[in-house]
Amino acid sequence: MSFGQILFAIGLPAMVGAILIVPAWLVPRIRRLSGLTGSALGVALGMALVVAFMAEAGIPSLPPDQKWHMLPILTCGIVILCPVVAIVDGSGEMGRWLISIASGGIIGWFAVFPGLDLLGQILLGVWVGISFMVISWVSHRRRGVTVTLSITLVFAALSILCMQAHFITLTLIAGALSATSGIGFVTAFISERWGPEVPVGSPVFPEDESELPSRSLAIGWGGAFAVASIIPLVAFCGWAYNVGDVTWLHWGLVAGAPLMLGIGELPGLHHREGFWWFLVRVGLVALPIVLALTLFFTGAGLGADSDTGGDGIDYMHYMDQS
């Protein structure tokens, strides 16, 4: 694959993501609309995944030609639901629990990747549900720059693992998701430094965030919903199609990294502010990522999931079998 093809497969989805994120987070009139601002990151990530898939594999069919094509199909559903979830942002613990249970149950049921038995689907559903509980909680307490930089690192690490698992298309998809998240980080940073001020008590700046600067931007429940769903989906899809030496331990450490954001919001730590505490929070997310990559490249940890790694298996031939 040429550099131009890689740039197209990653750059085009990132451009689509930028078109969605930048106006929603920087234009004052749009930013005051909770349904748009709170779902911008989520819709951008979902669209980036779908566009990256289409750039490599074409339009997914129903029913899917290959089981892993459920990934973009499920993501289309996530894109549609993001604005709805964003609108009900702040509905309380009942709303958080309902979204968590429903999203986990639906995604776990329909994610029928090869080798993923009922127990694996239940694990995926639980992972999605717990991820939403944690990230939606963090989204009400932490500014967008922290969350977007953290998920940029997570998707970059997933891209590395997919490459090592010889899953080329998913490598490019994860790379596009990382680039889109990076655009979200830059946009959130610009918004916090020079963006429009948002009055306390507005839909994008609820009263429980009154201690944050009035230019700070939260990703909202819509963004949290997409992040909590897409990261486990990509990880479990990569695990299901792994033909390299990447084990479930590596996938699990990276997919679970965003949950580390919750540590920084525990009592006694939540009000710790400043640049160094920003680095600490991002560092907590980076810790399991670094551990996973270190274990993989040093050959430590568990044995490979498959004994096909390094035997010259053709990737496209393998994919055609499922």
Statement: residue 143 has pLDDT above 90: no
**Sign of torsion over alpha carbons 42, 43, 47, 48:** negative
Q: What is the pLDDT of residue 205?
A: 47
Mean pLDDT value across residues 246-272: 89
Q: How far, in Å, CA of 28 to CA of 52, rounded?
A: 30
**Residue range 6-59, pLDDT digits in tens:** 888 899 999 999 999 999 888 877 777 666 778 899 999 999 999 999 988 888
| Longest distance between any two alpha carbons in the chain, whole Å | 60
The phi-psi region of residue 212 (left if phi > 0; otherwise alpha if psi is between -120 and 50; otherwise beta) is beta
Q: How far, in Å, CA of 147 to CA of 296, rounded?
A: 25
Q: What is the pLDDT of residue 212?
A: 44
Amino acid at site 298: T
Q: What is the pLDDT of residue 318?
A: 41
Q: What percent of the chain has pLDDT over 70?
A: 84
Statement: residue 88 has pLDDT above 80: yes
Statement: residue 248 has pLDDT above 80: yes
pLDDT band at 160 (very low <50, low <70, confident <90, very high): very high
Q: What is the pLDDT of residue 96?
A: 87
Statement: residue 4 has pLDDT above 80: no
**Between these two residues, 272 and 54, which has the higher pLDDT value?**
54
Among all chains, which residue has been given the structure tokens 């995944």? 49
Statement: residue 235 has pLDDT above 90: yes
Q: What is the pTM of this model?
A: 0.86
**Residue range 305-318, pLDDT digits in tens:** 444 343 333 343 34
